[in-house]
Amino acid sequence: MTDPRDDDRAADAVEDATAEGADAPAPAPLSDEAWGIDRAAEPARAARKPRGGAPAYRAGFVSFVGRPNVGKSTLTNALVGEKVAITSSKPQTTRKAIRGIVHRPDGQLILVDTPGIHRPRTLLGERLNALVQTTLGDVDVIGLCIPADERIGPGDRFINEQLDEYPRARKIAIVTKTDSASRHAVAEQLLAVQELREWDAIVPVSAVEAIQLDALVGELLKALPVSEQLYPSDAVTEEGLEARISELIREAALEGVQDELPHSLAVTIDDMIEREDKELLEIYANLFVERDSQKGIVIGAQGSRLKHVGQVARAQIEPLVGKRVFLSLRVKIAKDWQRDPKLLGRLGF
C-alpha cells in the first residue's frame, strides 16, 4: 500500500480531530439438507474421501462477482471460516481484491473477493471497476452471485454479459441469500438464472445459515485445474495485518452512516507499536472524509460517535491480534479524494 503519511498528503485541505478509544446444467437440487435439516452433518461430509482413493488434488483462483451488496463478502467469509473481508449493508463496501483461502482434503480454493461492478461516478469507481476486470482475467472460475430475494435486473444482466470477455474462466452461478426467500421464490430464481447462459453449475446457498456451502465448494473444486497446493495449510488470507486492521476500523465507521458518507470514508494506519511489557498493541489510525460536514458526523456530539467506532473496531481487532489494543483515531478532511488521482494514490488506490 502506498504510504499516505507524508506531510503534504492533503495539503491545506486536511484538518484534524482526535478521539482515543482505549475503552445450463440443472440447478443443484434443493434437498432437505439444503434447507437446514441435519446441517451439522455438512462438515463431516466435507472431510470424507470418495471410494477408490483420494481424488486428484486441485487448486486455483475463484472470483465472486455481482452487483454491490449481493453477499459476496459474506460468502467469502463463510467459506474461509474466518472474517477476511468486511461486510456492510452499504453498497460498494469492498474496495480491494481480497484473497481468502479455503482448504479441503482434495483441494484449495483461493477466493478473490472483488468490489461490486457498477457504473462509476468517480475516479475511485473507475479504478475499482478496472481492478475487477484485471482480476477476472487471471482467475480459473468466476462465480456470479445473484440474490434469491430480488428479481434479476439490468445490473445482473450487464455483469452476465461482461463474463463473455473472459472465455478461459469457468462460469458458475451462485444464488445467494436463500434464507431470505421462500422455496418457491428460490425455485423461480434458479429457473431465471438458468436462462442467462450455459453455466458449468448453478448452486443456491445461504452464507448466513451455512446452507449448501459444501455443495458450492465441491462444484468450485471440480472446475479448478489439477495442481499442487498454492498456499500453506494454515493460511486464511493474503492480506497483511495492517490492511486487515484498517478495514475493520472502516467497517466500524460505516455502521449507522447514511447517504454519500460510506463512499467518502477511507482509513489509513499511521503507526502500530507493540508494548511487550504490557501485552498491548497501540494503533494510531486516520479516518478520511471529503467535507467538513462529514467530519462532524463521524465525530458525533462531543466525540461520542468516534468513541463508539473505536469500541466496535477494538472488539474486532483484539481477537485478531490476540492481545489488548489501544486505538487512537483521528478524523481528517481530504477534499474530494475520490476524484483526486494524487490523493487516491496516497490512500492506497
Q: Is the dihedral of CA 325, 231, 86, 208 positive or negative?
A: negative
76 is in an annotated binding site: no
Indicate the residue type of 208.
V
66 is in an annotated binding site: yes
Phi then psi for 17, rounded to 5 degrees?
Answer: -145, 135
72 is in an annotated binding site: yes
67 is in an annotated binding site: yes
211 is in an annotated binding site: no
178 is in an annotated binding site: yes
214 is in an annotated binding site: no
> Grid coordinates representing 90?
452499504
Distance CA 111, CA 105 (A): 17
DSSP structural state of residue 99: E
- The CA-based angle 149-154-158, given to 5 degrees, is 115
Whether residue 268 contacts residue 288, with contact meaning beta carbons closer than 8 Å, is answered with yes
Q: How many CA atoms lie within 13 A of 11 on its CB side?
A: 7
312 is in an annotated binding site: no
115 is in an annotated binding site: yes
Q: How many CB atoms lie within 10 A of CB 126?
A: 12
96 is in an annotated binding site: no
176 is in an annotated binding site: yes
105 is in an annotated binding site: no
Chain-centroid distance of CA 189 in Å reads: 24
149 is in an annotated binding site: no
4 is in an annotated binding site: no
114 is in an annotated binding site: yes
Please report, in range form, the residues annotated as the binding site: 66-73, 113-117, 176-179
Please report, in range form, the residues annotated as the binding site for GTP: 66-73, 113-117, 176-179
